[in-house]
């Protein structure tokens, strides 16, 4: 199974989620993969130092990271696309409506809660203190643990009972149906977006993300004007 985590700028939340997931997969002996991208990411930005520090405190191996925008190629090769907020999910679904069935907000997917999905959003730590990043990493760590617990049995069932991590050709069915088998809740395309009040926007976000085309809808109200 291949997981793709998506935020806004691909410098904080989504790379933390991907690296936390890879560490958990290795710990559990699961041969899955995880990577990340951003809806409005610029190319080549590193993960923020405070995000790296939060992972280091958890003994998560740091891998080289360069931010990148979400593309159709990345979306198509993922079995499951998990966004940091419900508005991220709606934006990604609007961009790739034919892939909407495998795009979900991470928190809502893990909780199995399609309604009021914003309640489960992972808030943007960009521009915040070490404590803000620590809280974000702790939230992601809990969600990743629950995500792997949720997907592992479904992956075995979808693959005809073959243990996770076994060669793909031993599976009775492809892993693409795992999200459906897990029974996770998604976010409906076109669902009305609930706007949250923006937090401190003193950070210079323009260096770490691309702006959407003029007139395009906001992708992430809680992350607008920040790097992730």
Q: Which residues are catalytic?
A: 7, 13, 124
State how far the alpha carbon of 225 is from the alpha carbons of 25, 108, 156, 215, 221, in Å: 33, 24, 41, 16, 9
d(C-alpha 31, C-alpha 185), whole Å: 24
d(C-alpha 27, C-alpha 10), whole Å: 24
Q: What is the DSSP string of 36-65?
A: EEETTBPTTPPPPHHHHHHHHTTTPPP---
Contact between 175 and 159 (Cβ < 8 Å): yes
Cα atoms found within 13 Å of the Cα of residue 97, Cβ hemisphere only: 4
Integer Rg of the chain from CA: 17
């Amino acid at each position: 199974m291949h997981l793709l985590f998506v935020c806004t700028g691909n410098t904080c939340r989504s790379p933390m989620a991907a690296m936390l997931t890879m560490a958990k997969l290795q710990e559990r002996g699961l041969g899955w993969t995880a990577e990340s991208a951003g809806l409005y990411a610029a190319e080549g930005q590193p993960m923020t130092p405070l995000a790296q520090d939060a992972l280091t405190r958890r003994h998560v191996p740091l891998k080289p990271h360069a931010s990148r925008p979400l593309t159709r190629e990345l979306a198509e090769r993922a079995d499951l696309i998990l966004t940091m907020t419900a508005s991220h999910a709606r934006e990604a679904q609007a961009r790739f409506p034919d892939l909407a069935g495998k795009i979900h907000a991470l928190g809502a997917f893990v909780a199995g809660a399609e309604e009021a999905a914003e309640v489960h959003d992972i808030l943007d730590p960009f521009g915040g203190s070490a404590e803000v990043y620590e809280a974000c990493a702790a939230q992601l760590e809990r969600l990743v643990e629950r995500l792997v617990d949720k997907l592992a049995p479904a992956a075995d069932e979808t693959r005809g009972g073959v243990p996770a991590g076994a060669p793909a050709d031993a599976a009775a069915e492809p892993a693409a149906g795992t999200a459906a088998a897990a029974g996770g809740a998604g976010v409906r395309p076109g669902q009305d977006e609930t706007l949250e009040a923006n937090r401190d926007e003193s950070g210079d976000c323009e260096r770490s993300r691309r702006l959407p085309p003029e007139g395009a809808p906001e992708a992430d109200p809680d992350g607008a004007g920040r790097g992730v």
